[in-house]
């Protein structure tokens, strides 16, 4: 492969994909349309199986240090207990939910990637891509208006058209 694998999006999924590729000595390029990392959180938990995968990659410790172990949850309506769940019986080296906000997860992943020579390129957007029998061609747009064409993308198979509608090159 003449170019690194293109990962579009620097959220937890994109960063985890990039890290997994780097762990296999595969060159990777991460682009993100946002100017800076989010300060908000859409995800609050890393589950045991994901922790196991990070452990296999030798990088679970920074997550464990950044998060708090959640061993169970209770749902109540006033004084009435509606449901309770315990994670302690999960058969895993990590029998708990690791409570860690998305922005902290992204910061840990970004640092792990930086240690492996990968920097997130910000204000670079996937503006268009096409799929064919020969692969995928992606068009990247920068905030300064410049454009770049890229081959062999690993991206979510959808893109917003000029009217803001989601398009997919593959049938549903």
**pLDDT value of residue 16:** 96
| pLDDT, mean of residues 152-166 | 52
The burial class, CB within 10 Å (0-12 / 13-18 / 19+), for 11 is middle
Number of compact structural domains in the chain: 2
Is 60 found in the same domain as 137?
no
Distance CA 87, CA 92 (A): 10
- My answer on whether 88 and 128 are in the same domain is no
Selected residue with higher pLDDT from 15 and 151: 15
The span from the CA of 6 to the CA of 10, in Å, is 11
7 and 87 housed in the same domain: no
* 108: its two tokens: 């840990």
Which of these ranges, 9-13, 68-72, 140-144, 165-169, has the smallest mean pLDDT? 165-169
Name the pLDDT band for 156 (thresholds 50, 70, 90).
Answer: very low
In this prediction, residue 172 carries a pLDDT of 45
The residues, any chain, with a CB within 8 Å of residue 7's CB and separated by 6 or more, are 14, 15, 17, 18, 21, 28, 29, 30, 31, 154, 155
User: The domain containing residue 12 runs over which residues?
Assistant: 1-41+107-172
Query: CA 121 to CA 98: how far, in whole Å?
Result: 28
pLDDT at residue 90 above 50?
Answer: yes
Per-residue model confidence (pLDDT) at position 153: 44
pLDDT of 2 reads 64
Q: How confident is the model at residue 170 (pLDDT cuts 50, 70, 90)?
A: low
Task: Give yes or no for residue 40 having a pLDDT over 60.
Answer: yes
Residues 70, 131 within the same domain? no
Domain end: 100, 117, 146, which one?
100
């Amino acid at each position: 492969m003449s170019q690194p694998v293109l990962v579009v999006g620097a959220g937890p999924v994109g960063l985890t994909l990039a890290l997994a590729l780097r762990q296999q000595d595969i060159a990777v390029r991460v682009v993100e349309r946002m100017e800076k990392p989010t300060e908000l959180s859409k995800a609050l938990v890393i589950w045991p199986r994901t922790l196991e995968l990070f452990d296999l990659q030798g990088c679970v410790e920074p997550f464990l240090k950044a998060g708090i172990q959640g061993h169970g949850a209770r749902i109540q309506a006033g004084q009435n207990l509606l449901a309770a769940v315990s994670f302690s019986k999960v058969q895993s080296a990590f029998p708990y939910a690791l409570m860690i906000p998305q922005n902290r997860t992204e910061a840990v992943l970004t640092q792990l990637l930086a240690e492996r020579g990968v920097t997130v390129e910000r204000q670079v957007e996937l503006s268009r891509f096409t799929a064919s029998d020969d692969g995928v061609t992606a068009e990247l747009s920068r905030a300064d208006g410049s454009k770049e064409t890229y081959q062999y993308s690993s991206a979510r198979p959808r893109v917003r058209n000029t009217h803001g509608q989601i398009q997919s090159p593959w049938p549903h």
